[in-house]
Structure 1
Amino acid sequence: MTADIEWTGRLWLGRDYGLIHGVPGRTAPHAHYAHQLILAPGRPLTVSLDGVIQTARRLFIPSHVSHAIVEATDAVFTVYVEPQAFDVQALRDALFDTVATPHNLINALHDCPRRALGDPRLERALSTLDSLLTDKVQTRALADEAHLSSSQLQRLFASQLGLPVRRLVLWRRLRRAMALILAGRSVTESAHEAGFADSAHFSRSLKKLFGVTARQGLRHIDLQLLD
């Protein structure tokens, strides 16, 4: 199956979530760090979830689970959230019980309780990571800021965030580049500003994590940044 249909719609991008309303195109099988929820107010959509075909109006796709959009004929709401920020059950309860409109879902996401990281060392490491994205991010630099050894930092990332340092850096680079492209910057400029070696590196990463190319997934999406 090829991902040859472009996505259309609108994206609301918050600090730790994104909400898209639009008609999703087909995707290649992929897996990403974010938890994903899909709400289809109209006709149900069909998704391959870990190789099992499901047709439904409400779907929850956990972090790292392989999936692909097989068919969607009507506009749907797709929510992506940072796993470390949200309790899964509270998130599902808040969104699945909400009448699906942009206003209602944004308010529900805003009001959904956040989980505290609970470790100031991790907060310092993440803040440093974000400040270094335009350059090469060295694990040693993050560890020094957190007053940890590199091995201790790796264990902290794995236990608290569910990702090794290198993969979280890639995820945050991808998120920054996508936001820049949606704000009107070129793919090449956005890739470099987010710390990718070049636009080809960005495109490969986007295809791997979201199953679409920049042209298919981003060209016809309008962006609104939220506080």
Structure 2
Amino acid sequence: MVLQAEEGRLIVAAGPYRVLVATAVPVERDAVAAALDAVRAAGGAPGGPVVDPVAAGVGSALAAAATATALAGAARDGTPYDLVVSAGIGGGFLPAAPVGSLVVADAITVADLGAETADGFLPVTELGFGTVTHRPPAALVRQAAAATGARAGTVLTVSTVTGTAGRAAALRARHPDALAEAMEGFGVAEAAALHGVPVLEVRAVSNPVGPRDRAAWRIADALAALTEGFGKLVPVLESWRHHDDDR
């Protein structure tokens, strides 16, 4: 088995297992690519997957559209993806997910898809439509968390980033297992589900969820944590197959 390499891409010629990594913006994609380059520089590991990082765009709708387009194109070309990973930085709920830490989603939940009523928020499922949560393969979540040192928990997808203590408290009240929030995971998961492909979400925490304080953001630190964490995740992706899930 021959290991091939390109910048920002890790390829094993005889390995058909393919992973699409969807980030929001190019700097997140580049942080993932840096991890793949480091694995390549260290010699890689025969039997590993093809890992393709792409910047899919900001927000759930654009992320879903771009991910679905990539999945459809790969399937059309006879090289379908076997796993989709939503990766990037995001806000963390203190004290469980401090700045610089890594979170792996055991549930990818859209937090604000539904209706506001006099009795509070109703998720879209209680209105009789759709879904609000996608659950990544349990075995993969456990292996990813163990390999990277990440905490496993719910990652919320929001259309409006939380900027007040009140909204942070309301989200935690509705989602007590939430560790982080971001803007793309649910869209990526919806696209993966439509194509019958399992999904994983990995977030490096750049700021606390709560009052908007740009001075408290640590984007560079979070990107570094994403690179380090994804480098540790690659061996998990090398060994995992979705039919090994033991849920």
- The answer to whether the superposition gives a TM-score over 0.5 is no
Structure 1 length-normalised TM: 0.28
Structure 2 length-normalised TM: 0.26
The structure that is strand-richer by fraction is: 2
